[in-house]
Structure 1
Amino acid sequence: MDFQDLCSERSFLQICAQYGYGGDLQDLIEREFPRIKGTTYLDHAGASLYPESLLEEYFRDISTNLYGNPHSHHASSRLTHDTVERVRDRVLQHFNTTSEEYSVIFTAGCTAALKLVAESFPWRPRSESEAGSYFCFLTDSHTSVVGMRGLTSALGASALPVPPQELRSSTASGVQGDEDVCQTPHLFCYPAQSNFSGRKYPLSHVKGIQARSLYPACDLRGRWFVLLDAASYVSCSALNLQNCPADFISISFYKIFGFPTGLGALLVRNDAAGILRKAYFGGGTAAAYLSGEDYYVQAEHISDRFEDGTISFLNIIALNHGFESLYRITGNMNNIQQHTFGLARYTYILLSSLCHSNGSPVAQIYTEGQFESPITQGAILNFSLLDSSGQIIGYSQVDRMAALFNIHVRTGCFCNTGACQEFLGISNQQMKKNLQAGHVCGDSVDLVDGRPTGSVRVSFGYMSTFQDCQKLLNFVVECFVEKPATVDRVRLQELQTCDAKGRPSEEHRKAAETKSMEEPRERFTQRELRTVGDAHTLTNIYIYPVKSCAAFEVHEWPVGRLGLLYDRGWMVVNGNGVCLSQKRETRLCLIRPRVHLASNKLFLQASGMETIWVPLECEVQSQVCRRKVCGDRVDTSDCGDEAASWLSEFLGQTCRLIRQCPDSTRGKTRTDEAAASPFLSLVNEAQYLMINRGSVELIHSLMSSRQNSSEGNQLLDTQNVIRRFRANLVIAGAEPFEEDNWSHLIIGNTRFMVAGQCGRCQMVGIDQDTGTRTKEPLISLSACRSGKVTFGVYLTHQGPEGSAAARVLSVGSLVQPETPS
Structure 2
Amino acid sequence: MAGEAAQPGVEPLAFARFLDSSPQPFIYGYGGRSLRELREREFGRLAGTVYLDHAGATLFPQSQLTSFTKDLMENVYGNPHSQNISSKLTYETVEQVRHRILAHFGTTPEDYTVIFTAGSTAALKLVAEAFPWVSPGPESSGSLFCYLTDSHTSVVGMRKVTAAVNVACVPVRPEDMRSAEKQDAAAADPDPQPPHLFCYPAQSNFSGTRYPLSWIGEVKSGRMRPVSAPGRWYVLLDAAAYVGTSPLDLSVHQADFVPVSFYKIFGFPTGLGALLVNNRSAPLLRKTYFGGGTAAAYLAGEDFYIPRESVAERFEDGTISFLDVIALKHGFDALEHLTGGMENIRQHTFTLARYTYAALAALRYPNGAPVVRIYSDSEFSSPDVQGPVISFNMLDAEGHIIGYSQVDKMASLYNIHVRTGCFCNTGACQRHLGISDEMVKKHLQAGHVCGDDVDLIDGQPTGSVRISFGYMSTLEDAQAFLRFIAATRLHPSLSQPLPAATPGQAGGLPAEVEDQTAVPATLHRGGLSPWEDLPTDSRVWNSSPTAVDAVALHAPLPEATRTQESPSEKTAGTPGGDLGSHVVTNLFVYPIKSCAAFEVTRWPLGNQGLLYDRSWMVVNHNGICLSQKQEPRLCLIQPVIDLQRRVMVIRAPGMEPIEVPLEENSKRAQICQSKVCADRVTTYDCGEKISGWLSRFFGRPCHLIKQSSDFQRNPRRRCGKDQSACTTAVLSLVNEAQYLLINRSSVLELQRQLSTSGENGKEELFPMTELISRFRANIIMNGTRAFEEEKWDGISVGSLCFQVLGPCHRCQMICINQQTGQRNQDVFQKLSESRERKVNFGVYLMHSSLDLSSPCYLSVGSQVLPVLKENIEHHDEKHQDALS
Contact persistence 2:145–2:198 (CA under 8 A): yes
Q: Structure 1: which amino acid aligns with 2:172? A: V
Query: Is structure 2 residue 676 aligned with structure 1 residue 670?
Result: no
204-213 or 227-236, larger mean C-alpha shift = 204-213
Q: Which residue pairs with 2:679 in the alignment?
A: 632
User: 546, 566, 576: which one pairs with 1:532?
Assistant: 576
In structure 2, do the counterparts of structure 1 residues 494 and 767 end up closer, same or farther at CA, with 3 Å as the change threshold? Answer: closer
1:27-72 CA distance string (max 9 Å, x none): 1110111011100000000001111111111111121122222112
1:362 is displaced (CA, Å) by 0.5
- Distance across 2 between alignment mates of 1:549 and 1:170: 62
1:561-595 CA distance string (max 9 Å, x none): 11111100111222222212112222211111111
Map 1:16-55 → 2, pairs under 5 A: 17-22=26-31, 23-55=33-65
User: 82, 85, 89: which one pairs with 2:95?
Assistant: 85
Map 1:439-450 → 2, pairs under 5 A: 439-450=448-459
Q: Which residue pairs with 1:384 in the alignment?
A: 393
- Distance across 1 between alignment mates of 2:661 and 2:548: 58
527-536 or 129-138, larger mean C-alpha shift = 527-536
In structure 2, do the counterparts of structure 1 residues 178 and 85 end up closer, same or farther at CA, with 3 Å as the change threshold? Answer: closer
1:652 is displaced (CA, Å) by 2.1
Q: Structure 2: which amino acid aligns with 1:605? A: R
Q: Structure 1: which amino acid aligns with 2:705? A: I
1:472 is displaced (CA, Å) by 0.7
User: 217, 231, 235: which one pairs with 1:222?
Assistant: 231
Q: Which residue pairs with 1:340 in the alignment?
A: 349
- Distance across 2 between alignment mates of 1:707 and 1:393: 31
User: 662, 685, 689: which one pairs with 1:616?
Assistant: 662
What is the DSSP-based 3-state SS (H/G/I as helix, E as strand, rest coil) of the residue aligned with 1:271? coil
Map 1:250-399 → 2, pairs under 5 A: 250-399=259-408
Query: Is structure 2 residue 705 aligned with structure 1 residue 705?
Result: no
Q: Which residue pairs with 1:818 in the alignment?
A: 867
Contact persistence 2:686–2:704 (CA under 8 A): yes
Contact persistence 2:486–2:521 (CA under 8 A): no
What is the DSSP-based 3-state SS (H/G/I as helix, E as strand, rest coil) of the residue aligned with 1:489? coil
User: 521, 525, 546: which one pairs with 2:592?
Assistant: 546
- Distance across 2 between alignment mates of 1:426 and 1:610: 59
| Unpaired runs of at least 5, structure 1 | 496-511, 709-713
Q: Which residue pairs with 1:590 in the alignment?
A: 636
1:8 is displaced (CA, Å) by 3.8
1:286 is displaced (CA, Å) by 1.4
Q: Which residue pairs with 1:690 in the alignment?
A: 741
76-85 or 531-540, larger mean C-alpha shift = 531-540
Contact persistence 2:94–2:325 (CA under 8 A): yes
Contact persistence 1:359–1:488 (CA under 8 A): no
463-472 or 587-596, larger mean C-alpha shift = 587-596
Q: Structure 1: which amino acid aligns with 2:801? A: R
In structure 2, do the counterparts of structure 1 residues 6 and 256 end up closer, same or farther at CA, with 3 Å as the change threshold? Answer: farther
Q: Structure 2: which amino acid aligns with 1:700? A: Q
Contact persistence 1:169–1:213 (CA under 8 A): no
In structure 2, do the counterparts of structure 1 residues 778 and 344 end up closer, same or farther at CA, with 3 Å as the change threshold? Answer: same
1:416 is displaced (CA, Å) by 0.4
1:262-302 CA distance string (max 9 Å, x none): 11110000000000010111111112111112111111111
Q: Which residue pairs with 1:197 in the alignment?
A: 207
What is the DSSP-based 3-state SS (H/G/I as helix, E as strand, rest coil) of the residue aligned with 1:88? helix
1:607-630 CA distance string (max 9 Å, x none): 232222222233535243332111
1:487-526 CA distance string (max 9 Å, x none): 343276599xxxxxxxxxxxxxxxx9xx99xx99634542
Instruction: Give the count of matched residue pairs.
Output: 795
Contact persistence 1:6–1:350 (CA under 8 A): no
Contact persistence 2:359–2:529 (CA under 8 A): no
1:507-552 CA distance string (max 9 Å, x none): xxxxx9xx99xx9963454214885324122111101011111100
Q: Which residue pairs with 1:402 in the alignment?
A: 411
Contact persistence 1:356–1:486 (CA under 8 A): no
- Distance across 2 between alignment mates of 1:263 and 1:188: 24
What is the DSSP-based 3-state SS (H/G/I as helix, E as strand, rest coil) of the residue aligned with 1:99? coil
Query: Is structure 2 residue 773 aligned with structure 1 residue 773?
Result: no
Contact persistence 1:357–1:486 (CA under 8 A): no
Map 1:138-217 → 2, pairs under 5 A: 138-168=148-178, 171=181, 173-177=183-187, 179=189, 182-217=192-227
What is the DSSP-based 3-state SS (H/G/I as helix, E as strand, rest coil) of the residue aligned with 1:402? helix
Map 1:39-118 → 2, pairs under 5 A: 39-118=49-128
In structure 2, do the counterparts of structure 1 residues 489 and 620 end up closer, same or farther at CA, with 3 Å as the change threshold? Answer: closer
- Distance across 2 between alignment mates of 1:520 and 1:762: 20
774-783 or 234-243, larger mean C-alpha shift = 774-783
- Distance across 2 between alignment mates of 1:520 and 1:317: 53
644-653 or 353-362, larger mean C-alpha shift = 644-653
Contact persistence 1:543–1:728 (CA under 8 A): yes
- Distance across 2 between alignment mates of 1:777 and 1:179: 70
Contact persistence 1:524–1:698 (CA under 8 A): no
1:325 is displaced (CA, Å) by 0.9
Contact persistence 1:674–1:753 (CA under 8 A): no
Query: Is structure 2 residue 804 aligned with structure 1 residue 754?
Result: yes
Q: Which residue pairs with 1:601 in the alignment?
A: 647
State the TM-score, normalizing by the size of structure 2. 0.86
In structure 2, do the counterparts of structure 1 residues 104 and 737 end up closer, same or farther at CA, with 3 Å as the change threshold? Answer: same
- Distance across 1 between alignment mates of 2:128 and 2:770: 58
- Distance across 2 between alignment mates of 1:560 and 1:270: 68
What is the DSSP-based 3-state SS (H/G/I as helix, E as strand, rest coil) of the residue aligned with 2:681? strand
What is the DSSP-based 3-state SS (H/G/I as helix, E as strand, rest coil) of the residue aligned with 1:311? coil
1:744-781 CA distance string (max 9 Å, x none): 22233322221121111221122211222222321222
Map 1:773-812 → 2, pairs under 5 A: 773-799=823-849, 801-803=850-852, 806-812=855-861
- Distance across 2 between alignment mates of 1:816 and 1:469: 52
1:815 is displaced (CA, Å) by 2.0
- Distance across 2 between alignment mates of 1:329 and 1:494: 31
- Distance across 2 between alignment mates of 1:406 and 1:494: 26
Contact persistence 2:421–2:451 (CA under 8 A): yes
Alpha-carbon RMSD across the aligned residues, in angstroms, is 2.6
806-815 or 301-310, larger mean C-alpha shift = 806-815
State the TM-score, normalizing by the size of structure 1. 0.92
1:651-700 CA distance string (max 9 Å, x none): 22222222112231222241252432432110011111111222222222
Q: Which residue pairs with 1:680 in the alignment?
A: 731
Contact persistence 1:187–1:227 (CA under 8 A): yes
Contact persistence 1:170–1:213 (CA under 8 A): no
Contact persistence 1:179–1:222 (CA under 8 A): no
Contact persistence 1:533–1:816 (CA under 8 A): no
1:738 is displaced (CA, Å) by 2.2
311-320 or 579-588, larger mean C-alpha shift = 579-588
- Distance across 2 between alignment mates of 1:624 and 1:118: 44
642-651 or 420-429, larger mean C-alpha shift = 642-651
156-165 or 532-541, larger mean C-alpha shift = 532-541
What is the DSSP-based 3-state SS (H/G/I as helix, E as strand, rest coil) of the residue aligned with 1:303? helix
352-361 or 635-644, larger mean C-alpha shift = 635-644
- Distance across 2 between alignment mates of 1:759 and 1:481: 24
Q: Which residue pairs with 1:499 in the alignment?
A: none
1:65-96 CA distance string (max 9 Å, x none): 22222112222222212211111111111111
Contact persistence 1:195–1:414 (CA under 8 A): yes
1:428 is displaced (CA, Å) by 1.1
> Runs ≥4 in structure 1, deviation > 6 angstroms?
2-7, 482-485
Aligned-residue identity in percent: 53
Q: Which residue pairs with 1:642 in the alignment?
A: 689
1:376-398 CA distance string (max 9 Å, x none): 00000000000111110000000
Q: Which residue pairs with 1:487 in the alignment?
A: 522
